Structure 1
Amino acid sequence: MATITPKILKKNKYNNNTWRVVYRLTHKRVSRYIKTRRFITEKDIVNDDDVSMDYIIDFLADDLRKYRRKIDDIENIEVLSVDDILKELTNDQKDIEFIDFCRLHISRLKDQGRSKTAKPFVTITNSLIDFNGPKLSVSKITSRFLKQYESYLRMPKTITRKQGENTVKKTTSLNDKGLNNHMAAFRTLFNEAKREYNDEDIGRILIKNNPFSVYKIIPKKKKKHKNLSIEQIRAIRDITPNTSRGKFAKDIFLLSFYMCGMNAVDLFNNWDKLKGSNDRIGYNRSKTEGMREDDAFISVKIPIEAKEILERIEMKYNNIDRLNNTLSIGLRSFMKDLGLQELTMLHARHSFATIARNDLNFSKEDVAIALNHVSEDNRITDTYIAPDWSKIDRVQEMVINKVNEDL
């Protein structure tokens, strides 16, 4: 059991012949000291380093009762170190500052090179400041708070944001889809704060509220499939867009399709490697890197169709946001010429998967491997089996041949 006792450290004598009173915390035969604001002279010292009982009764009794009460309240104290207990006793923080935690978490993600993951958390932090002010105690985040915040998010409002050196104003409001994404990211942030400050193994629970158990995030509507038919993929292949953006977007779309639905961010991050490789490329998928034991690694063959695109275009954008913006504008510039109501980079990935499964009858497992997906059911089994990239090669080759069999 931990004990706490008032002491003086004899060697730490001040020039005015006084000693500072300290509390000696002892646990498992290890001691730490807590400084006080009290000083005593020789007359109040007994047994070389103890404080006289009269002085304790007159000046230290309340402090000692407070510390001993805290010690009694610590659950599973036997598994703690003396430093853990010291932290509990000297932590006077009554509540966690959530905005400060958000900024800390965002900074950590950016330091890890995960700026894209941090982006929605930046949006939430700014929005919470707009709604509640620059400070927000965790205990204030209740289901009632979340419902009020949801109403605020739905309401049209003008917000001011810093973009580089410029300050811009824009009007915004969230629909059901935007609200689902926003509140799901908020829940992730809140749970990260609980992981940061709570330690259930030792019963140290600083964040006790669980507002998302009562507040229910509005469910997502079922996603529309973003797959195109073989004929529509061929139409994209054969069209000659009228703008330079359109031509560039078409090439990147087809490059993604030929590379088993490779995401735009992974094309961007691995551009030099793609340009410099003759046969195949190994890369870690950005979306799930760091979330899987294999770091989402995949090896994909670079087919002749992809090589031809890589030989004629260059990556002239220095960040992914500018690339995505160009791709969005470029694809929209010719989608109506093809009779399409929507065309995004996701259509390349979804179409590759659909053609492989529905038109070529590949198994869902083989399609998943080609898309660099991992099945939760097979996650443990996958750690025992060496990857066979030839499975991806077969899916890739047959999908491309199927689309281009009219040539």
Structure 2
Amino acid sequence: MSCTVNVLCYKSKTLLNGEHPLMVCISKESKRKYLSLGVSILPQHWDAEKNRPKRNCPNKDLIQKLINEKIILYTEHILELNATGREFTIANLIDKVNGVSNKCTVQQLFDIHIVELRQQGRLKYASTFKELNNSLIEFNHHLDILFSDIDSAWLKNYEAWLRRRGLAENSIGVRFRTFRAIYNRAIEDNIVKQEYYPFRSFKVAKLHTETIKRAITKGEIEKIISYQSDNKYTRIAIDLFYFSYLCAGINFKDIAYLTRNNIVDNRLIYTRKKTKKLIKVPLQAKVLNIIKKYEGEADMYLFPILSKIHETDIQQANRLHKVMAKINKNLKIIGKELKLPISLTTYVARHTYATVLKRSGVNTSIISESLGHSSEKVTQIYLDSFENSQIDEAMKNLL
């Protein structure tokens, strides 16, 4: 009896985000076996008659490519088994395919990983892998190679190529940390053996340089908020900068998503998009005044950054990128006119929040100078363990 393979939208299982997983369905002798494709999709984006994603499906081409590759992979092995006249079960077929799937190329894993990150809404992180993917293709001309083909010498040549192109040390470091992450996934997925791991001899840590500190003084903060301008975008740039400084260094993305529901008992309570940590900070009178200025202007949010028209993750990400660029442009102009010692951006507010508290003698267990960097998770763990009264007292040092 013939064996068939197809990919279906498995509606018997619904994920928390309303999507259904795409499953490889193998049928033989009235038996069926479902295997996850590693991708999920909303029901309205799936054409049930043609068994493929609709035109309006996000990442349609990439998902269709994964479907085609998986079907071709199974079909080739079915034909091979039939040609030799060998009897086989679905389990035999899966075992045979899995044995060959370890030949997954670097490009194929990049495609799978990027799709999964986008499905999870981690668009910025996905773009980091996409940028690396493009860079590696430009360097090597293609990525139809195995992970075992990449050794220490290969990585050194890539590093030299990046340097010839003038990339900064930290930018090169980001490329290699991202590369190391996807290589680690390849090992976890049994695509390549641990013995081939090239980062044992090629040390990524050597590519790290200390980031120049970006903090200013309380006096310079006062100069910024006293800056006079009739320009709407200049005023909102100043307001968002000051809001971030007074609200425990909240970053721009988290500010954009704030609504009235995030204000409870005169405290700002929200979950950080990046670390998923619950943050609670007291709202001082000056913060409430900033919020009040934008009542009626900001649609469903506290500030006029996002609105109802930005429905999809991609629309929101594009909007945030555009507005943040405009905010930072105006802040840099202000910084130059005030002759500040550093280039002014939204990040400076976050770093200054931590630095001012430390200079004021606040215990580093509550807030550290490295807020927002590699030790941010540790900092947040410390913050979680303190009473609100302790944090409230520390926040008074900001004014």
Normalised by the length of structure 2, the TM-score is 0.65
Q: Using the alignment, how far apart are the partners of 2:101 and 2:173 within structure 1?
A: 33
What is the DSSP-based 3-state SS (H/G/I as helix, E as strand, rest coil) of the residue aligned with 2:95?
helix
Measured at CA, do residues 266 and 138 of structure 1 come closer, stay the same or move farther in structure 2, by a change above 3 Å?
A: same
- Could you say what secondary structure the match of 2:196 adopts? coil
Task: Answer yes or no: is the 8 Å Cα contact 1:95–1:139 preserved in 2.
Answer: no
Q: What does residue 137 of structure 1 align with?
A: 146
**Do the aligned partners of 1:278 and 1:302 also contact (CA within 8 Å) in 2?**
no
2:139 and 2:161 in contact (8 A); partners too: yes
Report how far residue 288 of structure 1 moved: 1.4
Q: What displacement does 1:196 show?
A: 2.4
Provide Cα deviations, 1:188-238, integer angstroms capped at 9, x if missing partner.
22212222226xxxxxx6464111112233432222222211111111121
How far 1:266 moved relative to its partner?
0.7
2:278 is aligned to 297
Q: Which residue number in structure 2 is paired with residue 324 of structure 1? A: 324
| AA at the equivalent of 1:191 | N
Offset at 1:120? 1.0
Q: Does the aligned pair in 2 maintain the 1:300–1:393 contact within 8 Å? A: yes
Tell me whether 140-149 or 240-249 shows the greater mean CA deviation: 240-249
Q: Deviations over 1:4-45 (max 9, x none)?
A: xxxxxxxx79xxxxxxxxxxxxxxxxxxxx9554449xxxxx
Q: CA shift at 1:244, angstroms?
A: 2.9
Whether 1:196 and 2:189 are equivalent positions in the alignment is yes
Give the whole-Å Cα distance in 2 for the aligned partners of 1:84 and 1:186: 34
Bigger Rg, which one: 1
Q: SS where residue 245 of structure 1 aligns?
A: helix
**Residue aligning to 1:151:** 160
2:96 is the alignment partner of 1:97: no
Partner of 1:287: 274
Deviation, 1:90, is: 5.7
CA distance 1:90–1:260, shift in 2 (3 Å): closer
Structure 1 window deviating more from structure 2 (331-340 vs 299-308): it is: 299-308
Who is 1:29 aligned against?
none
Once the two structures are overlaid, the 10-residue window that deviates more, 364-373 or 280-289, is 364-373
Q: In the TM superposition, what are the counterparts of 1:353-372 in structure 2 within 5 Å?
A: 353-359=354-360, 361-368=361-368
Tell me the CA shift for residue 334 of structure 1: 0.8
Deviation at 1:387, TM superposition (A): 5.8
Looking at structure 2, the residues matched to 125 and 370 of structure 1 have their Cα atoms a distance apart, in angstroms, of 30
Write out aligned runs for 1:339-358 (5 A): 339-340=339-340, 341-358=342-359
Map of 1:23 onto structure 2: none
1:175 alignment counterpart: 168
TM-aligned CA distance change 1:140 to 1:223, over 3 Å: same
Q: Compare 209-218 and 96-105 and name the one that shifted more.
A: 209-218
In the superposition, relative to structure 1, how do residues 39 and 212 fare at CA in structure 2: closer, same or farther (>3 Å)?
closer
Does the 8 Å contact 2:351/2:371 carry over to 1?
Answer: no
Hey, what does 1:375 align to over in structure 2? 378
For residue 154 of structure 1, report the CA deviation from its aligned partner.
2.4
1:32-91 deviation digits (Å, cap 9, x = unpaired): xx9554449xxxxxxxxxx9xxxxxxxxxxxxxxxxxxxxxxxxxxxxxx9699626862
Sort the Cα spacing of 1:94 and 1:231 in 2 relative to 1 into closer, same or farther, 3 A.
closer
How many residues end up aligned between the 2 structures? 297
In the alignment, is the contact (CA less than 8 A) between 1:235 and 1:338 conserved in 2?
yes
Residues in 2 aligned to 1:83 and 1:389: alpha-carbon distance in whole angstroms: 57
Residues 195 and 231 (structure 1 numbering): CA distance in 2 closer, same or farther, change over 3 Å?
same
Secondary structure, counterpart of 2:167 in structure 1: coil
Contact 2:170 2:208 in 1 (8 A): yes
Check if 1:227 corresponds to 2:215. Answer: yes
- Spell out, residue by residue over 1:266-319, the C-alpha distance to the aligned partner (whole angstroms, 9 max, x if none): 101224545x66622321112212xxxxxx111222222112112223444342
Match of 2:35 in 1: none
Find the residue that maps to 1:226 and give its secondary structure.
Answer: coil
Structure 2 SS opposite 1:113: coil
Q: Tell me, in whole angstroms, the C-alpha distance in 2 between the residues paired with 1:316 and 1:39.
A: 67
- Amino acid corresponding to residue 329 of structure 1 in structure 2: K
Instruction: Look up the SS of the partner of 1:365 in the other structure.
Output: coil
Match of residue 256 from structure 1: 244
Distance 2:137 2:91 in 1: 35
Cα distance between partner residues in 2 of 1:127 and 1:351: 34
Q: Provide the secondary structure at the position in 2 that maps to 1:135.
A: coil
In 2, the alpha carbon distance for the partners of 1:273 and 1:123 equals 36
- Match of 1:245? 233
CA contact (8 A) 1:246 1:329 kept: no
CA distance in 1, matches of 2:285, 2:175: 42
Amino acid at match of 1:375: V
Q: 1:84 to 1:334 in 2, by over 3 A?
A: farther
Q: Is 1:269 aligned with 2:257?
A: yes
8 Å CA contact retained: 1:180, 1:220: yes
Give the letter aligned to residue 298 of structure 1: I
Q: Which residue is 1:338 aligned to?
A: 338
Match of 1:399 in 2: 397
Structure 1 position 393, deviation (Å): 2.1
* CA distance in 2: counterparts of 1:245 and 1:327, whole angstroms: 7
Q: Distance in 2 between matches of 1:92 and 1:304?
A: 64
Letter matched to residue 234 of structure 1? E
- Tell me the SS of whatever aligns to 2:189: helix
Distance 1:237 1:36 in 2: 76
Contact 2:172–2:207 under 8 Å retained in 1: no
Q: Which amino acid aligns with 2:252?
A: A
Gaps of 5+ in 2: 3-79, 307-318
1:211 and 2:198 aligned:
yes
Q: Which residue of 2 aligns with 1:110?
A: 118
